[in-house]
Amino acid sequence: MVFFYPKQLYGAFESESLSPLQNAAGSIPFSIHPNSLGVLSDPTIISVNRSPFGAGSLNRKFGLKSLTKSLFVVGGNFQDFGVGLGVSRFGNPNYQETLVSILGTKNYKELVQLGISLNMYQLRISNYGQAWAIGSRISIRYTMGAKVETMMSYLNANRPVIGQSKEKLPQVISAGILVRQNEKITGQASLVQDTEFPISVRFGMIYKLLDQMDIAIGKIQQPNIFTTGGCINWKNFRIEFSYLFYADLGFITYQTGINYTHIP
């Protein structure tokens, strides 16, 4: 949501850029292979995909058309580096946020993946004009074994501000763990700390129901949200969907998306 107050703007770019499957499993702040759309929140996954990919999604906050968010990303590997380009847009004709991200990653001995992104923020308000800012993200993924991965991310360490009022853009520190109990079950636990809000604790699980279908559930503490959804795999395509129920508000946010990965 966006709130206005004289000479100040609250809530700009607070909406997270997550894929439907990430949201379905408790809004995981880190990407899950082969979930290509997750590179917007975690560039390290580019080095895992290892082939050209493209993905997009659409969601409406609380089911409202005026709070529509779209995501799109393309990428692949070049020599020893992974590169990508992502775009997200949120809002309506009167208020619109646009985020363009240049993504890169490097894999070190199959144990550590370092990802970075350079983010260009554009805020446009009808009859008021527009403003720009440059931000960044640093992500690290460490493979502890065949079944466990740990991750950490820092969004906007450079402390960007936007607009004449110098409104701070979100600074977020995320940390989490992914556990693949077996070929069918993946669990996650994560912490997300926005410097302007209380810490958010998140849990979730993805279960491979069939070779072509996964289902997911999750829980977010702060705010109080229950999540569910899944994905369907067909050849090189992956269709994802999620539902987020805001328990304290009684609203539902839904999201759908599609991934394409070229498999040589």
Q: Which two tokens stand for residue 238?
A: 């992956």
Higher pLDDT, 207 or 10: 207
Q: Mean pLDDT over residues 187-212, rounded?
A: 93
Residues in the chain: 264
- If phi over 0 gives left and psi between -120 and 50 gives alpha, with beta otherwise, what is residue 178? beta
Tell me whether residue 217 is exposed, middle or buried, using C-beta atoms within 10 angstroms of its C-beta: 0 to 12, 13 to 18, 19 or more: middle
pLDDT in tens, 52-92: 888 888 888 887 888 888 999 998 887 778 899 999 999 99
On the question of pLDDT at 9 being above 50, the answer is no
On the question of pLDDT at 3 being above 80, the answer is no
Percent of the chain with pLDDT over 70: 93
Weakest-pLDDT range from 50-59, 81-90, 180-189, 226-235: 50-59
Higher pLDDT, 51 or 205: 205
Query: What is the CB neighbour count within 10 angstroms for residue 5?
Result: 8
DSSP of 175-188: EEEEEE-SSSEEEE
Weakest-pLDDT range from 49-53, 204-208, 218-222, 223-227: 49-53
Cα–Cα dist 107/110, whole Å: 6
Instruction: Provide the pLDDT for residue 5.
Output: 35
Beta bridge partners of 42: none
Q: Mean pLDDT over residues 3-30, rounded?
A: 73
Residue entry with tokens 């966006």: 2
Instruction: Provide the pLDDT for residue 10.
Output: 44
Weakest-pLDDT range from 59-63, 210-214, 255-259: 59-63
Residue 51 backbone dihedrals phi, psi, to 5 degrees: -155, 160
Share the mean pLDDT of the chain. 87
DSSP, res 262: -
Contact 20, 70 (CB under 8 A): no
Q: Where are the domains of the chain?
A: 3-261
CATH number of 3-261: 2.40.160.60
Higher pLDDT, 160 or 45: 160
> What is the chain's alpha carbon radius of gyration, rounded to the nearest angstrom?
18
Cα–Cα dist 58/39, whole Å: 16
Higher pLDDT, 197 or 226: 226
Q: Which two tokens stand for residue 224?
A: 């109080």
On the question of pLDDT at 123 being above 90, the answer is yes
- If phi over 0 gives left and psi between -120 and 50 gives alpha, with beta otherwise, what is residue 99? beta
DSSP, res 18: -
Q: Mean pLDDT over residues 141-146, rounded?
A: 89
